[in-house]
Amino acid sequence: MSILVVGSVALDTIRTPFGYVCEALGGSAVYFSVAARFFTDVHLVAVVGRDFPDEHVRFLENRGVDMKGLKKVDGKTFRWEGEYLFDLNEAKTIRTELNVFQDFRPVIPEEYRHADHVFLANIDPELQLEVLKQVKNPSLVACDTMNYWIRGKPQELKNTLKTVDIVFLNEQEARELAGEANLIKAAKYIHALGPSVVVIKRGEYGALLFQNEKIFWAPAYPLETIFDPTGAGDSFAGGFMGYLCRDRHIEKGTYKKGIVYGSIMASFNVEDFSVRRIASVTFADIERRYQEFKNLTSFEDILIQVS
Amino acid sequence: MSILVVGSVALDTIRTPFGYVCEALGGSAVYFSVAARFFTDVHLVAVVGRDFPDEHVRFLENRGVDMKGLKKVDGKTFRWEGEYLFDLNEAKTIRTELNVFQDFRPVIPEEYRHADHVFLANIDPELQLEVLKQVKNPSLVACDTMNYWIRGKPQELKNTLKTVDIVFLNEQEARELAGEANLIKAAKYIHALGPSVVVIKRGEYGALLFQNEKIFWAPAYPLETIFDPTGAGDSFAGGFMGYLCRDRHIEKGTYKKGIVYGSIMASFNVEDFSVRRIASVTFADIERRYQEFKNLTSFEDILIQVS
């Protein structure tokens, strides 16, 4: 079983109340891959410029991410600069330089076209659809998106949604896409657009999973120190999709467990800049946090230790 | 086992996107009592004016709330007028008339002074402390408060907190009281002020229970129609305290279940204006929703039906 991810690879400059990094490894495909790689094989498709440091490519290769789909072209790598204030809920974008990402036309290498699962990270919905035309019968397709496309390319986004099984949205995006303040009604509207599974991310408030007429509520892991929220959504998707890919039989409860593994990977991700923390996590760390999530939400037994 | 509640009895005029009520039965002690009465005996202490309709007193008496502590004095009953816009998260206060509530000096009837549990609803922290001087060794004391007291009477509030076991706060109040944006750190700070249990309410995002160094996360019941959020916090406290009072032995997990029963009572409360919905609920309804909460958060079994 393997996952194909198509998204961005970027150099991020980020300031939070707790520190600063300059041109650190980032991008949706990177956060997704590092998280998903704990569970399954990952093939990455993205584009970078000639200035992209080889050490980052080696770092991802050493983590077992298949980087053959990373195209290096003339020009500069996508750069993002952002700042988080104390509430850490919303990034203030200081500068976005799309650079080579602007002309990204994903070409899926022949050996990736048989991937079982596909994750279309937040890119132009028309490109998401182009990717899907290149792959052969994946068993599960998920996509992410953002307000920029909901407003700018609503019809193209709807065309993409018709063809995917799972959509990841944050709560503002879900409300905007559906034109509906109530999240349950919004999720029903989005279901009707195509995806049989709607995942609504709510940052420090956790996530909701809507599957047909059913719902599951997952907490975010309560952290005393959230160092840098960048990439939380993509590492969440990575944990979710990775877990689903590992568990070949999509049984009752699998999607719910996927949300929990997504929340776990996001919780590690925000504990340091870039992929520093998540890359140093062990399987034992993941399983320990899984048990803590269980204790955190089950109300017929003990409380968990947080300090 | 019985609970003494000291708080407000009010006439509320409320407009939401879904309707309007004029001078409906409201107030913290009312919402608390109606919810707690499902689980235990409730003695109410509050003040109203001569204009307070007898039908409201009879309504509460018929629900089994002990109203001997309701003092009727010359003057007008406390009135609040508010409006909720579509997000329903925050009330816009249009008018507050404290009236007889302004000079409220709670006197606890002799037969209430042996109540096992005491709930000090959101009133002046000096009055909360006066109530505690009148009661004889209650086994559990909880209080609510608000930003108005956190800012206006911080030292008096801290004096009250030193003497209570449980404090209910919403997340903004917790952050303001602790001077700390991170909720886990804020909860630790509040613990150190006295209460061994800190309950942080987060509206549609659920509630967090901090008990010493341990934590529990409860969802809010996902509702398609939230009719009127007024009283949600007090019916939450009523379900929580009522359940704790019913379960004589405070065992492992009891506080966690208390939060769940609190969330259940709050979820019924917001489904209609005033106490209309919560007063018509049956024990079977409560137990059904308890099972739904279990399914909503347990991730090793089935999903729940929401439609």
Is B252 within 8 Å of A302 (Cβ atoms)?
yes
Classify residue B256 as left (phi > 0), alpha (psi -120 to 50) or beta.
Answer: alpha
Residue A266 DSSP SS3: helix
Q: Where are the domains of chain B?
A: 2-297
Per-residue pLDDT of chain B (307 residues; tens, 9 = 90+): 899 999 999 999 999 988 999 999 999 999 999 999 999 999 999 999 999 999 999 999 999 999 999 999 999 999 999 999 876 777 899 999 999 999 999 999 999 999 999 999 999 999 999 999 999 999 999 999 999 999 999 999 999 999 999 999 999 999 999 999 899 999 999 999 999 999 999 999 999 999 978 899 999 999 988 889 999 999 999 999 999 998 766 665 678 999 999 999 999 999 999 999 999 999 999 999 999 999 898 887 544 444 4
| Closest chain A C-alpha to B64 CA, distance in angstroms | 29
A246 Cβ contact list (under 8 Å, min separation 6): A1, A39, A40
| Closest chain B C-alpha to A196 CA, distance in angstroms | 14
Read off the amino acid at residue B23: E
pLDDT tens readout for residues A95-153: 999 999 999 999 999 999 999 999 999 999 999 999 999 999 999 999 999 999 999 99
Is B143 within 8 Å of B234 (Cβ atoms)?
no
B257 vs A contacts (CB less than 8 Å): 299-300
B299 vs A contacts (CB less than 8 Å): 216, 218, 253, 256-257, 259-260, 293-294, 297
Is A13 within 8 Å of A92 (Cβ atoms)?
no
Is B187 within 8 Å of B210 (Cβ atoms)?
yes
- Its pTM stands at 0.90
Q: Which two tokens stand for residue B80?
A: 């609040």
DSSP state of A247: S
- The Cα-based distances of A135 to A3, A162, A285, B24, B80 in angstroms read 11, 16, 34, 61, 61
| Closest chain B C-alpha to A55 CA, distance in angstroms | 35
- The Cα-based distances of A63 to A16, A60, A275, B236 in angstroms read 27, 5, 11, 47
Partner residue facing B215 (CB), from A88, A296, A299: A296
Question: Which residue matches tokens 């990270």?
Answer: A121
B218 vs A contacts (CB less than 8 Å): 299
Backbone angles phi, psi at A293, to 5 degrees: -60, -40
Dihedral Cα B23, B29, B31, B35, nearest 10 deg:
-150
B296 vs A contacts (CB less than 8 Å): 215-217
Partnered with residue B123 across adjacent β-strands are none
| Closest chain B C-alpha to A7 CA, distance in angstroms | 29
pLDDT band at A247 (very low <50, low <70, confident <90, very high): confident
Strands B207-211 and B197-201: what pairing?
antiparallel
- Rounded CA separation B229/B269 (Å): 8
Strands B207-211 and B214-218: what pairing?
antiparallel
Amino acid A63: pLDDT: 95
Neighbour-count burial for A25-34, b at 16+ CB within 10 Å, e otherwise: bbbbbbbbbb
Q: Which two tokens stand for residue A99?
A: 């650079």
Residue A265 DSSP SS3: helix
Determine which helix (DSSP H) or strand (DSSP E) holds A47, and give its type and residue range.
strand A41-49
Fold of the CATH domain A2-297: UDP-N-acetylmuramoyl-L-alanine:D-glutamate ligase (3.40.1190)
Nearest-CA residue of chain B relative to A300?
A: B253
